[in-house]
Amino acid sequence: MEAAVNTVRHEHGEGHTHSESFIRRYIFSTDHKMIAKQFMITAIIFLFIGGAFALFIRWQLAYPGEPIPVIGTMLPSTWVNADGAVTAEWYTQLLTMHGTIMIFAVIIPLLVGTFGNFAIPLMIGADDMAFPVLNMVSFWLFPLASIIMMAGFFVEGGMAAAGWTGYAPLSVIASLGQTLWIVALFLIGFSSILGAVNYITTVLNMRAPGMKMFDLPMTVWSVFITAIIIIIGTPVLAAALSMLFMDNFLQTSFFMPENLTVTGRDMSRTAGGGQPLLWQHLFWFYSHPAVYIMILPGMGVVSDVLATFSRKPLYGYMAMVFAIIAIAFLGILVWGHHMFQSGMNPLLGTTFMVSTMVIAVPSAIKTFNWLGTMWRGQMEFTTPMLNAVAFVSMFVIGGLSGIFMASTPVDVFIHDTYFIVGHIHYVLFGGSLFAVFAGLYYWFPKMSGRMYNERLGKWHFWMTFITFNGTFFPMHILGVGGMMRRIYDPTVYDFLKPFQPMNEFITINAMILGFVQFILVFNFAYSWFYGKKAKRNPWRANSLEWQAPSPPPHGNFDKEVRVYRGPYEFSSPESVQDYLPQNVSPEELAAQWTRHEQRRAQQKSEP
């Protein structure tokens, strides 16, 4: 075995210093760090596109029928009417594409694509992923899919408009834009699966010598568990999308009931006999676990950030690992809670209600352990730490409002209202996106080799935090007041008219929220080239990525890495400083103590 093992060396086995062409280095790169940056830049571009869509939606809700300021009249006539106001058709496309882009092209690529790729090999002491070429393919499928999805802009009938959930039969009878949406999601799913295969193999097979599974930082654990969810869930979405494609493109009847008539569409070839609820089951079998795909890596990143900046060991490391596993396991079983009002046996509804509420237990374990980590710590409120604390608090609000929806009787009243819009944004923006910000600021020195501007970082955080709450908190009130989730013009209903000032308040907040994100882009773009040079370990953290040079070269580590302990040895009485990196050997530690004692003795002897 030994002889055979050594023959399958990576091409870059020795001597990482050879020069590469521009294309190999920046475009078709197989280096995990470059792929992480590619994911990051692509996803941030989509963050702004998806954000712009949200602002168009908000404009229409606050000022129905009024022209979009500045750019209204410049937009094509299929999107806006003669005055420059959003048309109802475009509004439906906007809300569909806002959801799809933010989930599949922003949050998942940022959390799983960027942090998974960047952090895993560095944190486990490997020189790259197990399958670098597969990793490159996994990235390039993503822009390809995005282009296919955005091509819907230019086809007849516009983009997909059946909601991000693409419920049949609406999505079956829709135009070409919907077909492109199906193909694009299929490709993104394939990219996810290839990435997940890579992550799982890398974590299982390529840990540094001495590193046990329970020496892994939480970021690696969470992405590893996320990858397992992707392996279980995403293929089912791919199967469902294949069937939806058949229905949409070849007029089969997987999801089409009998005798359905649609105005202006020839249904003669549609035989019927299908089941629209089947789509919902298959879709949510993936898309509920996808909620955990979008939050678990955030939890991992935040755990690492909180421990580092509280200068304390992560409270209850084993409990945190098992809580993630429990959330993942339960998360796969509870998809039916999205369908309480779709026509479900009440008994089945109760089952899904109870299993959903059980998830509160591991989530609470995590929340209390985060509080325990911060409790009486030497907290340093850097930008990543502020974002991490915001994650914890916003995730609690999002989690608690989730319990309202999980209770079937309450859900009868609040489903499909702005309450659920508020809830999902507290989890996906307040949760995932704040975790993304925390991670981006935290690893920026390692990625770029330079420090970001702390003052701008804090401005970005506080502006985002305040306007985020100003935007999404009132939505809970709107929802309880009865405002429908996908409504085009709330002023047509008398009972919603009193809410109009609140809608305007939300829109103003949302606009500020959108524009302050340029601070982040400016900060990163400027600091990437002109920031202060970063040291190897600017945060005095323990995990292995901080033992590599900043930025790490192709092949990552400039010295042999061996692991002796877990990643959270902060303020340990064993160590000389208040941190003890994973790769410091007992001999080296003893030498550090000897030097320390000598220094102390010297200081004493010199009056």
Partner 1 sequence: MSTATTTTSRFNTGIYHGKLGMWVFLASEIMFFAGFFGAFIVLRDLNIEVFTASAHQLDKVVATINTAVLIGSSLTMALSHLALERGNEAKFRLFLTITIVCAFAFLGIKSYEYASKFSQDIYPWTNTFFATYFTMTGFHALHVIGGIIPMVWMLGKSLVKGYPQSMHHRVEALGLYWHFVDLVWIFLFPTLYLIF
Query: Contact letters (x/-) for partner 1, 77-116, by CB under 8 A?
Result: ----------------------------------------
Distance CA 216, CA 565 (A): 10
Kindly indicate which of the ranges 58-66, 121-129, 333-341, 574-582 contains the residues binding partner 1, using the contact rule CB under 8 A.
121-129
* φ and ψ of 76, to 5 deg: -65, 155
- Shortest distance, position 211 Cβ to partner 1, whole Å: 8
Name the residue nearer to partner 1 (CB basis): 63 or 292: 292
Tell me the two tokens of residue 202. 């890398």
Residue 585 near partner 1 by CB under 8 A: no
Residue 240 in 3-state DSSP?
helix
Name the residue nearer to partner 1 (CB basis): 242 or 350: 242
Distance CA 79, CA 85 (A): 8
Name the residue nearer to partner 1 (CB basis): 257 or 538: 257
Kindly indicate which of the ranges 8-16, 62-70, 432-440, 480-488 contains the residues binding partner 1, using the contact rule CB under 8 A.
8-16
Residue 137 near partner 1 by CB under 8 A: no
Tokens 């690696």 identify what position?
220
Name the residue nearer to partner 1 (CB basis): 228 or 360: 228
CB atoms within 10 A of CB 410: 14
Name the residue nearer to partner 1 (CB basis): 208 or 447: 208
Kindly indicate which of the ranges 20-28, 151-159, 241-249, 535-543 contains the residues binding partner 1, using the contact rule CB under 8 A.
241-249
Question: How many residues interact with partner 1 (rule CB under 8 A)?
Answer: 64
Residues 50 and 516: beta-carbon distance below 8 Å: no
For residue 136, what is the enclosing H or E element? helix 132-150
* φ and ψ of 298, to 5 deg: -60, -45
For partner 1, the binding residue among 91, 94, 127, 136 (CB under 8 A) is: 127
Kindly indicate which of the ranges 36-44, 126-134, 315-323, 538-546 contains the residues binding partner 1, using the contact rule CB under 8 A.
126-134
Residue 5 near partner 1 by CB under 8 A: yes
Residue 130 near partner 1 by CB under 8 A: yes
- Shortest distance, position 257 Cβ to partner 1, whole Å: 10
Residue 343 near partner 1 by CB under 8 A: no
For partner 1, the binding residue among 49, 137, 246, 379 (CB under 8 A) is: 246
Residue 275 near partner 1 by CB under 8 A: yes
Name the residue nearer to partner 1 (CB basis): 235 or 553: 235
Distance CA 522, CA 179 (A): 37
For partner 1, the binding residue among 37, 207, 288, 337 (CB under 8 A) is: 207
Name the residue nearer to partner 1 (CB basis): 339 or 520: 339
Kindly indicate which of the ranges 62-70, 77-85, 232-240, 478-486 contains the residues binding partner 1, using the contact rule CB under 8 A.
232-240
Residue 57 near partner 1 by CB under 8 A: no
For partner 1, the binding residue among 233, 331, 336, 349 (CB under 8 A) is: 233
Angle between helices 317-333 and 346-358 in degrees, nearest 10: 170
* φ and ψ of 450, to 5 deg: -135, 160
Name the residue nearer to partner 1 (CB basis): 131 or 526: 131
- Shortest distance, position 561 Cβ to partner 1, whole Å: 8
For partner 1, the binding residue among 60, 270, 373, 503 (CB under 8 A) is: 270
Residue 165 near partner 1 by CB under 8 A: no
Residue 417 bridge partners (DSSP): 484
CB atoms within 10 A of CB 360: 16
Binders of partner 1 in range 212-231 (CB under 8 A)? 230-231
CB atoms within 10 A of CB 575: 18
Binders of partner 1 in range 22-41 (CB under 8 A)? none
- Single-letter residue type at 156: E
Kindly indicate which of the ranges 81-89, 140-148, 240-248, 292-300 contains the residues binding partner 1, using the contact rule CB under 8 A.
240-248
Residue 240 near partner 1 by CB under 8 A: yes
Any residues with CB less than 8 A from the CB of 111 and at least 6 apart, and which?
Answer: 226, 293, 294, 297, 298, 301, 432, 435, 436, 439
- Pick from 46, 53, 193: nearest CA to 131: 193
- Shortest distance, position 197 Cβ to partner 1, whole Å: 5
Binders of partner 1 in range 278-297 (CB under 8 A)? 278, 281-282, 285
- Pick from 150, 113, 111, 121: nearest CA to 39: 113
Distance CA 261, CA 335 (A): 30
Kindly indicate which of the ranges 39-47, 251-259, 432-440, 525-533 contains the residues binding partner 1, using the contact rule CB under 8 A.
251-259
Residue 450 near partner 1 by CB under 8 A: no
Tally the residues of the chain: 607
Binders of partner 1 in range 542-561 (CB under 8 A)? 557, 560
For partner 1, the binding residue among 135, 178, 252, 464 (CB under 8 A) is: 252
3-state secondary structure string, 367-397?
Answer: HHHHHHHHCCCCCCCCHHHHHHHHHHHHHHH
Distance CA 38, CA 113 (A): 9
Name the residue nearer to partner 1 (CB basis): 248 or 507: 248
Q: For the purposes of burial, counting CB atoms within 10 Å of the CB of 412, is it exposed (0-12), middle (13-18) or buried (19 or more)?
A: exposed
For partner 1, the binding residue among 10, 455, 497, 532 (CB under 8 A) is: 10
- Pick from 512, 519, 480, 545: nearest CA to 383: 519
Residues 145 and 191: beta-carbon distance below 8 Å: yes
169 upstream amide cis, omega within 30 of 0: yes
Running DSSP on this structure, what letter comes out for residue 24? I
Name the residue nearer to partner 1 (CB basis): 2 or 606: 2
Tokens 């998806």 identify what position?
50
Residue 141 near partner 1 by CB under 8 A: no
Residues 500 and 491: beta-carbon distance below 8 Å: yes
Distance CA 485, CA 16 (A): 54
Running DSSP on this structure, what letter comes out for residue 84? S
- Shortest distance, position 349 Cβ to partner 1, whole Å: 18
- Shortest distance, position 335 Cβ to partner 1, whole Å: 12
Helices assigned H by DSSP within 344-453:
346-358, 360-374, 383-406, 408-414, 418-425, 434-448
Name the residue nearer to partner 1 (CB basis): 216 or 435: 216
Q: Which residues bind partner 1 (CB under 8 A)?
A: 1-10, 13-14, 121, 125-128, 130-131, 134, 193, 196-198, 200-201, 204-209, 230-240, 242-243, 246, 250-254, 269-271, 273-275, 278, 281-282, 285, 557, 560, 562
